[in-house]
Each structure stands twice: as structure tokens, then as C-alpha cells.
């Protein structure tokens, strides 16, 4: 029996990867324009990092982590999200001292033992940013604008950005208490998971997907009524800046996000075409996390975009990904004697920067030309008996079908020009 990929994981084949690369390139270029530098952290960490960072009462830590004991007896976990690792890495490498505002981006696989379905995998990719050092609402606006620009620049349609503030250590406890009381009064109407949440993490009652819970929670107290003056003012400023920047959003007091470390601003972006799993970006401010991880108090915020979902929604929306260019030149080889000439030609063209493929199978010219077509070769160079005798090479423009006998030295010029000409700029 053939061994299959593990449930919830999948392969990204070259044809699909082309689409991923396109999204990644848009993101990389945007991050550069916004001043982010990339960081790479390990895919596994001490389990404690996520228990402490992501939060003990989150779904992620409670039931979705890939945790195992390594051969040295350590409990390690495949990262379920990027933020705790980035914070740890900054502390460990002294990055916080380097710049007053430190902006980092990352891309990588995340692992969550969740129920697999369309748009939800156990291994998936996130591309995200973290900005440390500023508590100013203009920073929130800039990060949200970046997230919004990312999803629009890649070409997604039917975007909606939902924004909320979940307050701070000072104002949130009173809200959580009232929410708990509300939950207790409605305990008979809630799902089993939510009944547990009443004690452990009442905020999570707000993002339960069960219909009956959603109906009950429509009547629940709203965090925005509980914000302290500072948080309310911060939120008002964030909205003012977003208006100034023409970033469209809707305030939704039910967006609370699944992670414990958020403070104040939280946001989520959804896109059309994905059905239930339509969230493509999630993010927010986390002013207490750096201190919680043992650093100096450092305000921060960030977001993570789901690469799998961005690609899937683009596909669902019928987006035309940039076309695969194909190779510059295929070298057809006829007979063994032609091999050394072909190998040399391939080498010199590749050195010049061209993408070149040559025949290694010794097939008929017809079969080789078919392959050249399949590889979308712009030109085909043919080397056979006649060419060996004359010392020239037959070059075919695969678009026009025109074929000429040329000097080897002319080929780079023709390739670069993208067609034959009268050779005015060829070497003499």
C-alpha cells in the first residue's frame, strides 16, 4: 500500500506553488514598502512558550497543539502561531533595543490539531507582521492598512474588515464579569463548549459558531460600553486614522479573537468565496505580551494572514494568476556527437541568466519539439549532424515558427531581444 500524506496536511504542487509565490511576492514587496524586515524562527518551541504566550484557556492550547516529548525528555510543540516565537526571538537576540519601533515580518507553517475541512488544515501557512514599540493609534492604523492593502493588492474581492476594541487590563475585567453573569443566566440555552467557557474564558462565548449560542449572545453586554477613557479614546483615534486613510471597516463588538494576549484593537478580514472558513487575516494589539514573556513593557501589534486561504479564495473568485512564463530556450540534441556541444551551449546560456533545458533522453526530433512546446520554450536550438558540420546552430522562434541558422555567439542576443532581427547589435 502506498503511504499517503497525514490527515490535515497536503502537498503544494509546482502548478499551485506558482500561485502561492505570486501572493508571497506581493506580500514581500508590501512589507518592504512598510519597513518590515523578515525574521525566521524555529518551527518548534518549548511547550511552555505557547501555554504562557498564546494562553492557557485558548482553544489552541487546550486542544489543538502538536505537543510531544523529544528524546531529551523536553516537552516541545510545533508552533500553532507565530507571535510568541517572534517575541521570544526578539528577547533572546536583543532585537528590542535595536530600533525604537521594531517591525518584523515572517512566513512559515503553523500546526494545529483542528478538524480538517475545506480551508482548514492541520499544517497551514501564515504570513504576518509584528510591530513593537509604539502604543500610538497611528501604529494600529498603519498595521490595519497594511493588512487591508495586502488582501486588496493580491486581487481579492468581497473583502470585509471588522474592527473592535477589547479594552485593557483595567477595563476588561468588569466586562468579563458581566459577561460571565450573563452566561450563567443563559446556561440552559448554550452549547456544551460554551457552558465550559462561562467559567474559563467568557469572551469566547462571543465567537462561538453554534446558531443557538449566536442567538443568545445577540443580547449579551457589549465590550465597547465598558472601555475606560484611555481605551475609548485610543479606539476613536484608530477609527479616525482609518477614515483618513480610506480603509473601509465595520465596527463589530463580537470580534474578540481566539487568543488571550490581545488588548485594545482587534480586527479580522474575511473574503468572499470560501464558505464557512472565510477569515483570511486576523490581528490585533498585544501590549502586555512582551512583559509577560519576561521583557520590558513594550506595546505591540500585528496580524497573520492565512496563505492557504488567500490562494483558495483567489481561485474560488476566478482570479487569473500571472501566467507561467516558460523557459527561454530548449536545446534539441540529435545524435551522441551533439551532446558535448549542447552541454556547452546550455552552460553558457545559463551563465548569461537564461532558463535553459536540454534533451537528455536521446529521442526523436518530433518528441523533443513536443517537450519544448510543453515547457513553453521561447526558442529551440537544434544541434544535429548538419550543425556539427557547419559549426552553426539552427534556432527556431517558437512563436513565429521562423527558423534560422545562427552563430552560437548570436544566440544570447536573439534570446534577449526575443526575436530574430538583422543582427545589427550582434557581435561581428
Cβ proximity to ligand AMP: between 262 and 330 the closer is: 262
CB of 150 to ligand AMP, least distance (A): 12
Q: How far apart are CA 268 and CA 280, in angstroms?
A: 8
Minimum CB–partner distance for residue 289 and ligand AMP (Å): 14
Return d(Cα 226, Cα 233) in angstroms, integer.
13
Minimum CB–partner distance for residue 258 and ligand AMP (Å): 6
Nearest to ligand AMP of 152, 348 (CB atom): 152
User: What secondary structure does DSSP assign to 243-273, as a single string?
Assistant: HHTT---EE-TT---S-TT-EEEEEEEE-TT
Residue 115 beta carbon to ligand AMP: minimum distance, rounded to whole angstroms: 9
Question: Considering beta carbons, is residue 36 or 121 the nearer one to ligand AMP?
Answer: 121
Checking DSSP bridges between strand 123-132 and strand 300-306, what pairing results, if any?
Answer: antiparallel
Indicate the residue among 112 and 396 with the shorter CB distance to ligand AMP. Answer: 112
Backbone φ and ψ of 330, nearest 5°: -105, 135
Of 88 and 309, CB closest to ligand AMP: 309
* Neighbour order of strands in the sheet with 403-406: 356-358, 329-333, 379-383, 393-397, 403-406
- Least distance in angstroms from the C-beta of 376 to ligand AMP: 32
In the complex, minimum distance from the CB of residue 138 to ligand AMP, in angstroms, rounded to a whole number: 23
Task: Spell out the residues 6+ positions from residue 197 whose beta carbon is closer than 8 angstroms to its own.
Answer: 183, 204, 205, 208
How many angstroms separate the CA atoms of 257 and 60, rounded? 12
Of 31, 35, 65, which is closest to residue 49 (Cα–Cα)? 65
Give the whole-angstrom CA distance, residue 225 versus residue 357. 66
Q: Which residue sits closest to ligand AMP, CB atoms considered?
A: 306
Beta-strand pair 263-270/279-285: antiparallel
Least Å from the CB of residue 198 to ligand AMP:
22
Min dist CB 81 to ligand AMP, Å, is 5
| Nearer residue to ligand AMP within complex by CB, 299 or 306 | 306
What one-character DSSP code corresponds to residue 117? B
Compare residues 206 and 341 and give the one whose CB is closer to ligand AMP: 206
Q: Based on CB atoms, which residue is closest to ligand AMP, 36 or 124?
A: 124
Cα 33 to Cα 27: distance, rounded to the nearest angstrom: 10
Residue ranges in contact with ligand AMP by CB under 6 A:
81, 112, 114, 120-121, 124, 126, 258, 279-282, 304, 306, 308-309
Instruction: Look at residues 143, 109, 390 and name the one whose alpha carbon lies nearest to residue 245.
Output: 143
The alpha carbons of the chain give a radius of gyration, in whole angstroms, of 28
Residue whose C-alpha cell reads 556541444 in the numeric block = 341
Amino acid at each position: 500500500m502506498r503511504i499517503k500524506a497525514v490527515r490535515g496536511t497536503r502537498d503544494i504542487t509546482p502548478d499551485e506553488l506558482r500561485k502561492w509565490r505570486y501572493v508571497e511576492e506581493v506580500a514581500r514587496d508590501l512589507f518592504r514598502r512598510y519597513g518590515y524586515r523578515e525574521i525566521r524562527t524555529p518551527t518548534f518551541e518549548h511547550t511552555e512558550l505557547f501555554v504562557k504566550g498564546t494562553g492557557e484557556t485558548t482553544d489552541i492550547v487546550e486542544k489543538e497543539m502538536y505537543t510531544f516529548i523529544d528524546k531529551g525528555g523536553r516537552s516541545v510543540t510545533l508552533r500553532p502561531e507565530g507571535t510568541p516565537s517572534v517575541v521570544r526571538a526578539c528577547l533572546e537576540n536583543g532585537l528590542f533595543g535595536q530600533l525604537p519601533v521594531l517591525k518584523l515580518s515572517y512566513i512559515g507553517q503553523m500546526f494545529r490539531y483542528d478538524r480538517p475541512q475545506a480551508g482548514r488544515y492541520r499544517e497551514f501557512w501564515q504570513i504576518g507582521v509584528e510591530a513593537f514599540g509604539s502604543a500610538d493609534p497611528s501604529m494600529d492604523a498603519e498595521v490595519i492598512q497594511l493588512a487591508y492593502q495586502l488582501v486588496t493588492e493580491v486581487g481579492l474581492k468581497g473583502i470585509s474588515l471588522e474592527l473592535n476594541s477589547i479594552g485593557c487590563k483595567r477595563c476588561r475585567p468588569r466586562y468579563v464579569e458581566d459577561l460571565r453573569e450573563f452566561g450563567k443566566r443563559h446556561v440552559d440555552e448554550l452549547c456544551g463548549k460554551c457552558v465550559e467557557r462561562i467559567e474559563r474564558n467568557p469572551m469566547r462565548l462571543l465567537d462561538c459558531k453554534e446558531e443557538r449560542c449566536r442567538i443568545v449572545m445577540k443580547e449579551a453586554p457589549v465590550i465597547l460600553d465598558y472601555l475606560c477613557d484611555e481605551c475609548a479614546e485610543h479606539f476613536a483615534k484608530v477609527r479616525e486614522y482609518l477614515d483618513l486613510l480610506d480603509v473601509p471597516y465595520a465596527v463589530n463588538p463580537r470580534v474578540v479573537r481566539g487568543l488571550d494576549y490581545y488588548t485594545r484593537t482587534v480586527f479580522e478580514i474575511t473574503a468572499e468565496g470560501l464558505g464557512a472558513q472565510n477569515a483570511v487575516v486576523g490581528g490585533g494589539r498585544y501590549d502586555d505580551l512582551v512583559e509577560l514573556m519576561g521583557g520590558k513593557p513594550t506595546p505591540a501589534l500585528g496580524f497573520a494572514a492565512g496563505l492557504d486561504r488567500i490562494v483558495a479564495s483567489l481561485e474560488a473568485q476566478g482570479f487569473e494568476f500571472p501566467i507561467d512564463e516558460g523557459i527561454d530556450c530548449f536545446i534539441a540534441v540529435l545524435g551522441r556527437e551533439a551532446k558535448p556541444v549542447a552541454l556547452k551551449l546550455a552552460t553558457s546560456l545559463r551563465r548569461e541568466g537564461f532558463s535553459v533545458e536540454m534533451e537528455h533522453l536521446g529521442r526523436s526530433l518530433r518528441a523533443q519539439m513536443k517537450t519544448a512546446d510543453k515547457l513553453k520554450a521561447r526558442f529551440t536550438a537544434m544541434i544535429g549532424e548538419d550543425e556539427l558540420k557547419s559549426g552553426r546552430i539552427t534556432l527556431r522562434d517558437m512563436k513565429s515558427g521562423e527558423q534560422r541558422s545562427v552563430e552560437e555567439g548570436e544566440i544570447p542576443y536573439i534570446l534577449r531581444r526575443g526575436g530574430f532581427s538583422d543582427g545589427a547589435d550582434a557581435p561581428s
